[in-house]
Structure 1
Amino acid sequence: MKRVAHPVRADWQKKVEALGLAWHSAKGAYWNESAYYSFTMDEVLKLEDATNKLHAMCLETAQHIIEQRLFLKLGIPSHIIPLIEAAWEQEPPSIYGRFDLAYDGLGPPKLLEYNADTPTSLVEASVVQWFWLQEQFPAKDQFNSMHERLIEHWKGLFPFLQGERLHFAGMDDIEDGMTLAYLRDTAQQAGITCETLTMDQIGVTSDGFFTDAEDRVIESIFKLYPWEWIVAEDERFVQALLQRGTGMQWIEPVWKMLLSNKGLLAVMWDLFPDSPYLLPASLDVAETLTWDAYVRKPLLSREGANVTVTMFDQTLVESQGDYGEEGYVYQAMASIPDFDGRHPVIGSWIIGQEAAGIGIRESKRIITDNLSQFVPHLIEG
């Protein structure tokens, strides 16, 4: 694994915009092609194997959480538990997830967290870095089959969708719109009729059905909106959710609440303490007394918000945000590689049930946040 400096294309902004990356320069240059990360095929195979094994471990952990009734330890609202259990039993469609891994090319990849419900950075990982590779290094390869896998997976899900169309919903902002537009495009390429709306355009009828902006009943929906926010909506919305139950197709399904919660890390460590891919983790701060360095993360935080890094009882780094009331998980600190002051975290994508590629975000701090930059990669050797 190497970080290699490389000249940027003179018209790179125009090219990435044409591929759907509308916010390439938000808060600085988010898309950064002044360098790339180079991996050997052996390193890529290790990342792929780790991702597939972590995915299997996560599913086993979800089963354990349900069987052992660990919902409240993770802060899952009690009134949503029956909905999670029903969805888990019915196995509704799931499209994707992203594991964030610490990896230096030497030791095994280590799981930092799992973005199982609303992962973003998909457009840049699936499309933008692929076209960069084709233009800059046409003879090289990349660990990236995400676009093809998405289309094929949508085709496989098509018979299981309810109703005549699949709705795509999220917040009215650039990043969500970019991700939703791309996912909708892959679904349409799979032959699915699609509609797009914002979450605040979803209505509720008097008899508990969800409707779109044209008052059509929503029967299948992909939502780029966290489940913990959905279940905290107004009472009428939540009652309709409970009333409809699994009679409405939600993608990602509600059982993903178990995997998108960072408390998952502690339960996984309890179940798989010998896994080379896991870091010690606990919901009990007392466990950190035997650790030289650890990271405190809110159970539901996003973009590195409210994360504290402690080493030998001294706070090294602390980020701000609005999370933490839901509780924290404590995780032993991973060794994040340092390439000339840049700390990369590998986002390894699951499409359906299999590893499908990686995207790399790097930061000047050891906390990956919304100021991180996306750097493309390739395979050499």
Structure 2
Amino acid sequence: MTTAIATEASAPAAIHSSRTKLAQAAASSAVPLNHTFPNSYKDDLAVHTLQVSPEVGHARYLDASLPYVPVFEEQYGPEVSSSLQTKYYTLTESGQAGIEAATDSLHALFVQATEHVLLHQEALAPYFHIPAALWPRIQHSWAHHKNDTISGRLDFALTDQGTKVYEYNADSASCLMECGYTQDAWSKAAGLGSIGRSNSATLFSQLTAAWKGKNVQGTLHLLCDDDPEERYHSLYMKAAAEAAGIPCTLVVGVQELHYDEDGVTILDGQNHPVRNVWKTWAWQTVISQYEAGNGAASSGHVQVMDVMLHPSVRVFEPLWTVLPSSKAILPILSQLAPDNPYLLRSTFDAADIATFKGGYVAKPVMGRTGANDQLYSNC
């Protein structure tokens, strides 16, 4: 049976979703909440209509010499705007400060909740629908690779009551290139440079600093699926890792990967050993492959799970991030921090639903990208 959780619906004014980046190692404990912390509200975010001339709208605005740009343009085209009327968003200074405060506090709280789950594994593991045989690996990942994190994404709603978090994609967060490069280049090309400042101009340097702190020995293999978004996302991360002095190889798909003659070490297409991996593949993909194969490693043909679960491969983001990325963590957060102003109350217990004002969202624990989410009204 698939477990579902219920999350109290945010206020009707919660119409905007904001995505915030992290590029630092995991904190060790939660930051105590102080209600004087800055916060972000619905009115801090504004949408504007922009009329551009044909000359501006049809101009190419990205630097095609950057390795990730041609792939991005393959997906979205090279023009500033396909229409001469477009939109852009602004966020107030106080709103930006509020999002940063919420990000720091919530990241620490999600990490604290992860530790709580691992300390109470027997009671809480069933909620996560992770094969029992993988829990020792998760415990090992937490004990030995707790700080092997590079980036994550918190998904927020800005409401009249302040910032509310929907979930934490701590495993395979995307949108790095858009936040760290594309939106700033677009703003400049569209003539918006005098309106404000970038809220993510330092993202690339933060990613580079994060890689410098990981002491990666040897080549970093960046694994992604053969999808334009995953490829330009991977190339952007590759550029950040290379700026940190790490030799990198991009691997699209897993077809070129194979075992050595002893059937132990995984090699790339150039017969170089794969020891360090950053990936766009979600750990949920690994879990699905693991369950389908009853936990057995592939014979001959290398699968994603063979790479990411290989005992000699160091993976960024590490296996333990499957826990804060799971929707099963949300009710646990509500139990650990019931008065946290950034949280929407969540529960596994259907009896709690009647106390949710206005309505709630039922989400499958293993769902992704909003699949099978259901909205209910208590009105």
TM-score range, shorter chain: 0.7 to 0.9
What is the match of residue 195 of structure 1? 249
Name which of 92, 95, 102 aligns with 1:43: 95
SS at match of 2:48: strand
Q: Which amino acid aligns with 1:305?
A: A
- Between the aligned partners of 1:33 and 1:79, the Cα distance in structure 2 is 54
Q: Structure 2 matches for 1:3-18, cutoff 5 A?
A: 3-8=47-52, 10-11=56-57, 14-16=60-62, 18=64
CA shift at 1:153, angstroms?
Answer: 1.4
1:87 is aligned to 2:141: yes
Residues of 2 paired with 1:103 and 1:196: CA distance? Answer: 37
What do the CA deviations read for 1:266-299 (whole angstroms, capped 9, x no partner)? 1111111100000010123332122231111222
Pairing 1:1-381 to 2, within 5 Å after superposition: 1=44, 2-8=46-52, 10-11=56-57, 14-16=60-62, 18=64, 19=69, 21-22=72-73, 23-24=75-76, 34-69=86-121, 70-90=124-144, 91-104=146-159, 106-135=160-189, 136-139=191-194, 140-144=196-200, 145-157=202-214, 159=215, 161-162=216-217, 164-201=218-255, 202-205=257-260, 206-233=262-289, 234=293, 235-237=296-298, 244-245=310-311, 247-291=312-356, 292-312=358-378
Hey, what's the Cα distance between the residues in 1 that align with 2:336 and 2:87?
39
Report if the CA contact (8 A) 2:155-2:167 is conserved. yes
CA offset at residue 12 of structure 1? 5.4
Once residues 276 and 343 of structure 2 are traced to their aligned partners in structure 1, the CA distance between those partners, rounded to angstroms, is 35
Deviations 1:22-72 (A, max 9, x none): 3227xxx99998122222211110110001000000110000000000222
Q: Where does structure 2 lack aligned partners over 5 or more consecutive residues?
A: 1-43
SS in 2 for 1:200: coil
CA distance in 2, matches of 1:207, 1:249: 19
Distance in 1 (CA, whole Å) between partners of 2:259 and 2:355 is 51
Name the aligned partner's letter for residue 200 of structure 1: V
Distance in 1, Cα, partners of 2:167 & 2:199? 20
1:370: which partner in 2? Answer: none
Letter in 2 for 1:153: A
1:128-165 alpha-carbon deviations (Å, 9 max, x no partner): 111123342323212112112111211222x2x23x20
- Give the Cα–Cα distance (whole angstroms) in 1 for the partners of residues 337 and 237 of structure 2: 34
Matched residue SS, 1:109? strand
Q: Distance in 2 between matches of 1:32 and 1:252?
A: 40
SS in 1 for 2:76: coil
Distance in 2, matches of 1:56 and 1:126, equals 23
Partners of 2:82 and 2:335 lie apart in 1 by 37
Please give the TM-score of this superposition, normalised by the length of structure 2. Answer: 0.74
Change (3 A) 1:273 1:236: same
CA apart distance, 1:92: 4.5
State how far apart, in whole Å, the 1-side matches of 2:341 and 2:351 are: 23
**Corresponding residue of 1:328:** none
| Cα RMSD (Å) | 2.6
Q: Choose 128-137 or 220-229, whichever is displaced more.
A: 128-137
Provide Cα deviations, 1:198-217, integer angstroms capped at 9, x if missing partner.
34233344443222222322
**Aligned residues of 2:51 and 2:84 also touching (Cα < 8 A):** no
Which amino acid letter does the alignment assign opposite residue 68 of structure 1?
Answer: H
Percent identity (aligned): 26
Q: Which moved more, 1:268-277 or 1:195-204?
A: 195-204
Residues 286, 308 of structure 2: 8 Å contact kept: no
Whole-angstrom distance in 1 between the partners of 2:84 and 2:339: 37
Residue 15 of structure 1 aligns to a residue in which SS? coil
Structure 1: distance between partners of 2:259 and 2:322: 23
Q: Contact (CA 8 Å) 2:57, 2:82: kept in 1 or not?
A: no
* 8 Å CA contact 2:57, 2:83 repeated in 1: no
Change (3 A) 1:178 1:242: closer
Distance 1:56 1:197 in 2: 32
Deviation of residue 7 (structure 1)? 2.2
- Flag the 1:227–1:33 CA change in 2: closer, same or farther, 3 A: farther
Figure out how many residues of one structure are paired with residues of the other and give that number: 305
Q: TM-score, normalised by structure 1?
A: 0.73
Greater fraction of residues in strand: 1
Return 5+ residue gaps in structure 1 as ranges: 314-381
Q: Which amino acid aligns with 2:318?
A: P
Cα distance 1:241–1:198, how it changes in 2: closer, same or farther (>3 A)? closer
Partners of 2:83 and 2:141 in 1: CA distance:
37
Contact kept, 8 Å, 1:6 with 1:34, in 2: the verdict is: yes
Question: Residues 212 and 286 from structure 1, CA distance in 2 versus in 1: closer, same or farther, beyond 3 angstroms?
Answer: farther
Shift, 1:303, TM fit: 2.1
